[in-house]
Amino acid sequence: MKSFPDRILLLILDQLMITVSFVFAYWLSYYSGLSPDKPYHSIYWFWDPYIVINILWLLLFGMFGLYGKWKNTSRFDEIISVYKTITIGAIAFLVLTFSQVFEISAGKLITLGYWATLVVLVGAGRLTVRSIQRSLLSHGVGRRPSIIVGDVRHIVEMLKNLKNAPALGYDVKGVIPIERGKQFKKIDDFEVLGSVKDLHSIIENYRITDVLIALEFKEEDEIFKLVSAADSYDVDFSILPGPADVLSGRMMFNQLYGFPMVRILSEPIPPWEKNVKRLIDVCFALTVIVLLFPLFCIVAVVIKLESKGPVFYIQERVGYRGKIFKLWKFRSMVADAEKHSGPVWAEKNDSRMTRFGRIIRKMRIDELPQMYNILKGDMSLVGPRPERDFFVEQLKKKIPYYPLRLKVKPGLTGWAQTKHNYDRSLDDVREKLKYDLYYIENMSLSMDFKIIIATIFVVLGAKGAH
């Protein structure tokens, strides 16, 4: 069952369960005897709040990731997510209506009944859908195209486990052994599709969605190479942990049908934080564009008066999962600054920089047009700074773990930008990578807020390039 019909089915079912719950709450309010209120005769009184409340619930469900991609996770975990989301919504309703949350009253009892009905009905609906999906997966319907990469011994072990657990939903198209100096045509009746260097084409040709890594977790260098080899594709990586990994307690893993799988490099933040982060990005970008539009005009005029060339400098950068996008900046250098030199890093006291360009760089004003990139979704307010494809390809070869920066959306500012200056050498990039990886590992809304505050101090102190 593909993700799009799956989400539509959940949306329709949730809508039905929310409607039944609302009707039950209406009955409690006017016909159960709990409240002395009498029902309104106008049909609009019923439909208006019904429509608004339905929309609010569906938005809340979406924000908390209840319509995300289903990866055959535990049904119990999904019920817990439903419970937490509905509970947060019910508490928010009580607070927004200025009610005393802990005061016992008819209104609170009605809200409690509404909450309990929502939890039971929405939870039961999702439990039914997921059970049907698992049954279909067991019969080969809706499985995800997958490949297994690793050493032969672990590949054979993983294939054996997968055969015993068809409801996991993996449709193995073939395998990729990493043993050097050995040639295989088939492993346990599965075709050898190629080598790790062919991973890009294999993922594309077979439309792979899941790469299963059959290696010990301690072989992190090999695992990293595999993940980096597919950094531009939206695929999930999972690994079968060895006994030492499980016994050491070093990792959390999902276990379905007695088959432990660790999903690596999944979303670094929960879905609701990711959605709130995007909402903050859009609101912030729109606010800056509206409030600072006069400043934009002044900067544009001064740039035009000082030197020949366009107002904006538009450059291709590498974004999320290796996607190329056009980044906008106010031009701070002379026109065609790299015409003869080719792509180079900016230097201290760079002679190519104009006098006004030096000022707007120090105050980071040259970066403001990237509000357009944030609105488009190419960038976020906070994240690792995007780099040019020319440098990215070089840095991937020279700096281990550099491709991990492409696993999150690039940002206008970042932890590295508050701790370090502009990139002027490979050593600068190495140093800033430490901060970028720290941000990715600890990514959260509170971390973003901390970085924004630090960026304000950097801007006020005019600590940009000079």
Q: Do residues 75 and 131 make contact, with C-beta atoms less than 8 angstroms apart?
A: yes
Strands (E), 216-277: 236-239, 254-256, 259-264
Ordered DSSP codes for 156-205: HHHHHHHHT-GGG-EEEEEEEE--TT---SEETTEEB---GGGHHHHHHH
Dump pLDDT digits (tens) for 81-101. 899 999 998 888 777 665 544
Q: Do residues 151 and 161 make contact, with C-beta atoms less than 8 angstroms apart?
A: no
Give the pTM: 0.68
Pairwise CA distance, residues 452 & 280, whole Å = 12
- Closest to 256 measured CA to CA, from 72, 1, 78, 129: 72
What's the mean pLDDT in 39-47? 58
Dump pLDDT digits (tens) for 340-371. 556 666 666 667 888 998 899 888 899 999 99
CATH class of 144-264: alpha beta
What's the mean pLDDT in 294-305? 94
> Mean of the per-residue pLDDT values for the chain?
80
- Closest to 318 measured CA to CA, from 388, 268, 385, 414: 388
Dump pLDDT digits (tens) for 146-201. 999 988 888 998 898 888 888 788 899 999 998 765 677 888 889 999 888 888 88
pLDDT of 225 strictly over 60:
yes
Dump pLDDT digits (tens) for 193-212. 988 888 888 998 999 989 99
pLDDT of 265 strictly over 90:
no
What was the pLDDT predicted at 271? Answer: 79
- In the chain, what are the domain boundaries? 3-138, 144-264, 271-460
- Closest to 273 measured CA to CA, from 408, 433, 77: 408
DSSP, collapsed to helix, strand or coil, labels residue 67 as coil
Pairwise CA distance, residues 378 & 4, whole Å = 23
CA 249 to mean position of chain CA atoms: 26
- Closest to 184 measured CA to CA, from 223, 212, 150, 224: 150
Most confident by average pLDDT, 29-38, 294-303, 360-369, 393-402? 294-303
Q: Between the CA of residue 214 and those of 178, 186, 256, 296, 353, what are the distances in Å?
A: 10, 16, 17, 54, 52
Pairwise CA distance, residues 380 & 60, whole Å = 22
Strands 186-187, 190-191: pairing is antiparallel
